[in-house]
Amino acid sequence: MSVDVVVVGLGYVGLPLAQAACSAGLSVVGFDVKDALVAGLNAGKSHVDDLSDADIATMLSQGFSATTNSSVLATAAAIVICVPTPLSDEGGPDLGAVLGATRTIASQLQPGQLVILESTTYPGTTDEDVRPLLEANGLVAGKDFSLAFSPERIDPGNPVYGMKNTPKVVGGFTPECTERAANFYARFVDTVVRAKGTREAELAKLIENTYRHVNIALMNELAQFAHLLEVDLWDAIKAASSKPFGFQAFYPGPGVGGHCIPIDPNYLSYRVKTQTGQPFRFIELAQEVNAGMPEYVKHRIQDSLNDAKLALNGAKVLLIGVTYKPNIADERESPVRPLAQALLAGGADVSYHDPFVPEWNVDSEHGHHDGDRVLTSVSDVYEAVATADITVLLQPHKSYDLAQLASASKKLFDTRGLLQGANVERL
């Protein structure tokens, strides 16, 4: 085999993986179906937040290249699949990219290769969906080639934990597959954790995300009650956090976003429902509470305007930060989009500021369609807050001087519990 690893899918997950393998001295080729993305990478251009153009240049100097030509797959010792696992229009898993990538790999599969799926998915996918496709041409998993699942744990924008120092969970189709996959990751990850099999490794990832989803929902529901009870929830969470054991702080907010928290638990509840016929009530409840937050925040904004004898209809509402988490450009599934839609539906004059998003399509995160409302970030945020009837802090990017934002605002609704003052109202 002439290449140590081919990474399939060069996005938020695949590209940092390729980078980590390159820096450890492995020979790495990236395979993706998008021509422009591949051409960009080969020209030294990064399209993900965590990697700069300079990082890509370093990777290229270490021998990395990207391609859309699937024949490269036949030359790899290991193949790692990092393609998206979104939801279908009906809200269930959409394994289209995983199955598409697997079919492409199957067409090139060679004896002795190691195939690892990293895409987040329900327990059973590697064994029941991926393995039969790979075995279609006669090679047998665990005998002719190795097969494993290893969940990606990347946290875009996290300055402390990256690929190397985040422990990697690995579960193989056979114990030998587990060992082989573990040895592969050990070449560029500090700690490898062996799970019993592919299903346990698949479920491990869903436990992590469902745990966050449910606990955030608990705080979101509590935020609504704490408001009615006139208790400062943020202060109460701070006090509870002083317990050095048995408690981990989660915080309320305008809703959940990103590629993981709002999506992955659905893979688990779907699997539970289709296999057992029963609803996974915790997940469904968390979904309902978290998805209701943008509408709740809209009501709070409306109430706040009402206190100042203003109607939402015609009020100038400035949204600060539209991405789903601070300090990155990713706006996938951001709860700010349904919030803006609800405010616009109520007649508000909505504007926004985000240093990472110069132009923002309020109606769609998947390209422009006729009739979409597209806004441009206001140029001077500190001037804009002074003229807005209400400013809504949604994402506290570190470039903001929050105290200045608060003092310059007529009224500020803080969904993150970071500010105080006579003109500040917290979620």
Ligand X SMILES: NC(=O)c1ccc[n+]([C@@H]2O[C@H](COP(=O)([O-])OP(=O)(O)OC[C@H]3O[C@@H](n4cnc5c(N)ncnc54)[C@H](O)[C@@H]3O)[C@@H](O)[C@H]2O)c1
Residues that bind ligand X (CB under 6 A): 8-14, 31-34, 37, 82-85, 97, 100-101, 104, 119-120, 152, 154, 156, 259-260
Residue 359's contacts (CB-CB under 8 Å, 6 or more residues apart) are 374, 375, 376, 377
What is the largest distance, in Å, between two alpha-carbon atoms of the chain?
73
CB of 139 to ligand X, least distance (A): 20
* Single-letter residue type at 401: D
Nearer to ligand X, 333 or 389 (CB): 333
Q: Least separation, in Å, of the C-beta of 133 and ligand X?
A: 12
CB of 156 to ligand X, least distance (A): 5
Q: Looking at beta carbons, which residue is closest to ligand X? A: 11
Residue type, 262: P
State which residue, 159 or 371, has the beta carbon closest to ligand X. 159
The residues, ordered by sequence, that sit 6+ positions from 21 with a Cβ below 8 Å of its Cβ are 4, 5, 7, 28, 187, 188
Q: How far is the CB of 369 from ligand X (least distance, A)?
A: 20
Tell me how far apart the alpha carbons of residues 278 and 269 are, in angstroms, rounded to a whole number.
9
166 contacts 153 by C-beta, under 8 angstroms: yes
Nearest-10 Cα torsion for 152, 156, 161, 164: 50
Which residue's CB is nearer to ligand X, number 136 or number 311? 136
| Residue 180, number of CB atoms within 10 A of its CB | 20
223 vs 396: CA distance, rounded Å: 19
Q: How far is the CB of 320 from ligand X (least distance, A)?
A: 23
Tell me, yes or no, if 260 is annotated catalytic. yes
What would the DSSP string read from start to end of 369-405?
Answer: -TT--EEE--S-HHHHHHH-SEEEE----TTS-HHHH
- Cα torsion 86, 183, 157, 199 to 10°: value is 30
Query: Are 346 and 312 contacting, i.e. CB atoms less than 8 angstroms apart?
Result: yes
Q: Measured between alpha carbons, how far is 79 from 117 in angstroms, rounded to an integer?
A: 8
Pairwise CA distance, residues 134 & 112, whole Å? 13
Q: What are phi and psi of 187, to 5 degrees?
A: -70, -20
In whole angstroms, the minimum distance from the beta carbon of 286 to ligand X comes to 17
Q: Residue 58 or residue 67: which is nearer to ligand X going by CB?
A: 67
Nearer to ligand X, 120 or 290 (CB): 120
The residue annotated as part of the active site, out of 22, 82, 177, 260, is: 260
Give the nearer residue to ligand X in terms of CB position, either 84 or 355.
84
Question: What residues are annotated to the active site?
Answer: 260
